[in-house]
Amino acid sequence: MKALNKYLAVASVAARSNLAYFGEAASRLLFLAVILYIFMRLWKVTYTETGAAQLGGFSLEQMLWYLAVTESIMLSAPRVALLVDEDVRTGALTLQLVRPLAYPMYRLWTTMGERVVRFAVNGLAASVVAWVLVGPIPWNPLGLLALLVSLPLAFAIDFLGNFLIGLGAFWLEDTSGLVLIYSRITMILGGMLIPLEFFPDAVRPIMQALPFASMVYGPARAFVRPDLAELTVLVVRQGLAVLAFSVLIGLVYRMALRRVFANGG
Amino acid sequence: MYKKLGSYLALVAAYFRLNLRSQLEYRGAFLSQAVAMFLNNIVWIIFWGLFFHRFPVLRGWTMNDFITLWGIVAAGFGLAHMVCGNVLILASLIAKGQLDAWMMYPRALLPHILLGRMSATACGDALFGYLVYLILVKPDVPHFLLFTALTVSVAMAFVGFGVFTGSLSFYLGNAEALSEQWRFAMVTFSTYPATLFEGAVKLLLYTLIPAAFVGYLPVEALRSFSPGDAACAVGGAFAVLAIGVLAFYHGLGRYESGNLMEMRG
């Protein structure tokens, strides 16, 4: 309990620190608004030309709200891998190791605090834009519950993936390429640009099982098309992904620490 | 007149060689940035591939037209910032009073500033643009020649637009954020056909955010091999460049030196 309080305090400081730079967060909102407007036009034309009320099981309203959630998730991601990379390269990691905080947990809770604020700002702005452009989607408390349950797990998976890449700095010259590849894979396989329903039937089940879908597509779809059985499957998948990544990070982190050399001075 | 033009083309070639050599001093970083941008653009081609797999035609545009659109915008953007990389930071140079060093040279101020830097990511954009057009669209020789000529026109429009938004720093103090957001809007809108938009937004694409001159019109010119559309695209690009140059030299009268000591190698 004491340890949890400690990490909650870390998250709270990160969240408040992020609130202090509200202007920086707000500057990303124009980007969000432009993207959503363009997607709204793209899908509106597509729905009109096909004459369909639903595509891939999504109505136009659901599609835009889906994209509002996926864009908010992606744009709220802090630069975890680059921070870990920097800690490794500059040696700042050795300072963290002597503190009464486990370094991975410290980074996890800092990221969570920061991301909650960023997501709240983005989500609010995206909701306003989506509301103005296509109006509301039918209100369902289960959708909100699904978002509240699945988002923290989605953020945790994303953190673990990024943290793992950041640890790569112990062995690689430059991890920025890996960060970019990871983020682009997340954009496509995570369903940020287009729901997985639009992928070919042969690959869809594989993509749904991958952790990328649990980070972006899963929470967004659960919000716009809530279904208790699907939410349960999503949360189980997310839990398994968190577990698998945690074990992997545990192994890699242990190997990495053997490469830390600290000199006094 | 021709002698002067030749002399400036020689200056462009000299700066290009110098900037490329300077980039290649950090070969790893240069390559990773260029490859990163290339991959980033590939993600969008995958997105459109998935989209057109489901909906083969969008307002008369096919997958090939969208590849051409991405090819021409990326190649033009890349060309612009490979040669005139400083246009990306012009707002900051003006706001920080860093034009002094450039005023000491006998060359015209604006082209000399713009030529002073090469953007590494722009190289990835340019490579991507020409390659996807050649490999995926497989044009005949006349189409490829027109494509290449139009990329120069697109590059002119991007440079002119960058100069215009950057010059706002003369009037507003620091227009760095505004310039960046405006440029972002231009790039984003340019990668969608103008036929998706209606009313005031469509008007914007030919005026405040002149994206139609770098995306829609050049692609229309290539689709129907139409001299009219090509002339409109080139005319629009010249107009954007002229407005940018006028805004810069008009604003220059308000420039205040930063009194910085600077050394240029």
Residue B264: inside a domain, yes or no?
Answer: no
- Cβ–Cβ < 8 Å for A234, A216: no
Residues 6+ apart with CB under 8 A from B218: B72, B76, B150, B153, B154, B229, B230, B233
pLDDT at A101: 87
Beta-bridge mates of residue A58: A55
Residue B2 resides in a domain: no
The encoded tokens of residue B138 equal 């497989």
Give which of A201, A205, A210 is closest to A237, Cα–Cα: A210
pTM assigned to the model:
0.85
- pLDDT < 50 stretches in chain A: none
- Indicate the Cα dihedral angle B50, B53, B55, B57, nearest 10°: 110
Least Cα separation, residue B27 to chain A (angstroms): 12
Give pLDDT, residue A32: 85
Question: Does B190 map to a domain?
Answer: yes
Is A201 in CB contact (< 8 Å) with chain B? no
Where b means 16+ CB within 10 Å and e means fewer, A177-192 reads: bbbbbbbbebbbbbbb
φ/ψ (deg, to 5) at A55: -125, 125
Specify the pLDDT at position A222. 95
Measured CA distances, A199 to A11, A41, B47 (Å): 37, 21, 10
Contacts of A181 in chain B (CB under 8 A): 39
Determine which helix (DSSP H) or strand (DSSP E) holds B83, and give its type and residue range: helix B63-83
At B25, is the secondary structure helix, strand, or coil?
coil
pLDDT for residue B65: 95
Backbone torsions φ then ψ of A54, nearest 5 degrees: -135, 140
The encoded tokens of residue B103 equal: 């005023």
Q: How far is B190 from chain A (nearest CA, A)?
A: 11
Predicted local confidence at residue A89, as pLDDT: 87
B40 in contact with A at a CB cutoff of 8 Å?
Answer: yes
Beta bridge partners of A55: A58
Distance separating alpha carbons of residues B197 and B215, to the nearest angstrom: 14
B184 touches chain A (CB under 8 A): yes
Contact criterion met (CB < 8 Å) for B192 and A42: yes
Å from B227 to nearest chain A CA?
A: 28
Q: In this complex, do B43 and A173 lie within 8 Å of one another by their Cβ atoms? A: no
Question: Over the stretch B87-112, which tens digit does the pLDDT of each residue have?
Answer: 999 999 999 888 988 888 888 999 99
Instruction: Report whether pLDDT(B216) > 70.
Output: yes
Q: Tokens in use for B120?
A: 């590494």
Cα–Cα separations (whole angstroms), residue B133 to A252, B129, B230: 42, 6, 18
Q: What is the pLDDT of residue B68?
A: 97
CB contact under 8 A, A199 and B50: yes
Residue B82 has pLDDT above 90, yes or no: yes
Hey, is the C-beta of B26 within 8 angstroms of any chain A C-beta?
A: no
Best probe of the A interface among B39, B51, B54, by most A CBs < 10 A, is: B54
Residues of chain B in contact with residue A177, where contact means CB-CB under 8 angstroms, are 32, 35-36
Residue A139 tokens, joined: 């209100």
Shortest Cα distance from B224 to chain A (angstroms)? 23
A202 CB within 8 Å of a chain B CB:
no
What pLDDT, on a 0 to 100 scale, did the predictor assign at position B75?
A: 98
Q: What span, in angstroms and rounded, lies between the C-alpha atoms of B209 and B187?
A: 9
Residue B61's DSSP bridge partners are B58
Q: Does A244 touch chain B (CB under 8 A)?
A: no
pLDDT number for residue A237? 97
At A180 the pLDDT is: 82
What total number of domains does chain B contain? 1
CA A120 and chain centroid, separation: 13
User: So what's the pLDDT on residue A72?
Assistant: 94
3-state secondary structure of B198: coil
| pLDDT score recorded for residue A24 | 62
Q: How far, in Å, CA of A182 to CA of A187, rounded?
A: 9
Range from A96-100, B2-6, B139-143, B260-264 that averages highest in pLDDT: B139-143
Q: State phi, psi for A192 to the nearest 5 degrees.
A: -70, -40
Comparing alpha-carbon positions, the chain B residue that sits nearest to A183 is: B40
- CA angle B256–B260–B263, rounded 5-degree value: 130
* A41 in contact with B, Cβ within 8 Å: yes
Chain B contact for A52 (CB, 8 A cutoff): no
Question: Looking at the predicted structure, is the pLDDT value of residue B263 above 80?
Answer: no
Q: Report the half-sphere exposure of B123 (CA within 13 A, side-chain side).
A: 17
Q: Which of B43, B196, B197 sits opposite A188 (nearest CB)?
A: B43
CA of A128: how far to CAs of A37, A136, A137, A251, in Å?
Answer: 12, 10, 12, 44
Supply the range of the domain harboring residue B198: 10-254
Q: Is A187 on the interface with B (CB under 8 A)?
A: yes
- On whether any CB of chain B is under 8 Å from the CB of A173, the answer is yes
Does residue B1 lie in a domain region? no
The answer to whether the Cβ–Cβ distance between B197 and A198 falls below 8 Å is no
Q: What is the mean pLDDT of residues B21-49?
A: 88
Q: Which residues of chain A are within 8 Å of residue B54 when distances are taken between CB atoms?
A: 55-56, 198
| Residue B142 Cα to chain centre, angstroms | 23
Rounded to a whole number of angstroms, the distance from the CA of B189 to the nearest CA of chain A is 8
> B188, A42: Cβ pair inside 8 Å?
no
B196 and A50 within 8 Å at the Cβ level: the answer is no
Residue B263 counted as domain residue: no
Chain B residue closest in CA terms to A34: B185
Q: Is A27's Cβ below 8 Å from some Cβ in B?
A: yes
* B94 domain residue, yes or no: yes
Residue B259 lies in a domain: no
Q: Closest to B177 (Cβ–Cβ): which among A27, A35, A181?
A: A27
Percent pLDDT > 70 in chain B is: 98
Q: Which of A198, A199, A201, A212 to mutate to test the interface with B (most CBs of B within 10 A)?
A: A198
Q: Is residue B4 part of a domain?
A: no
In contact, B64 and A209? CB cutoff 8 Å: no
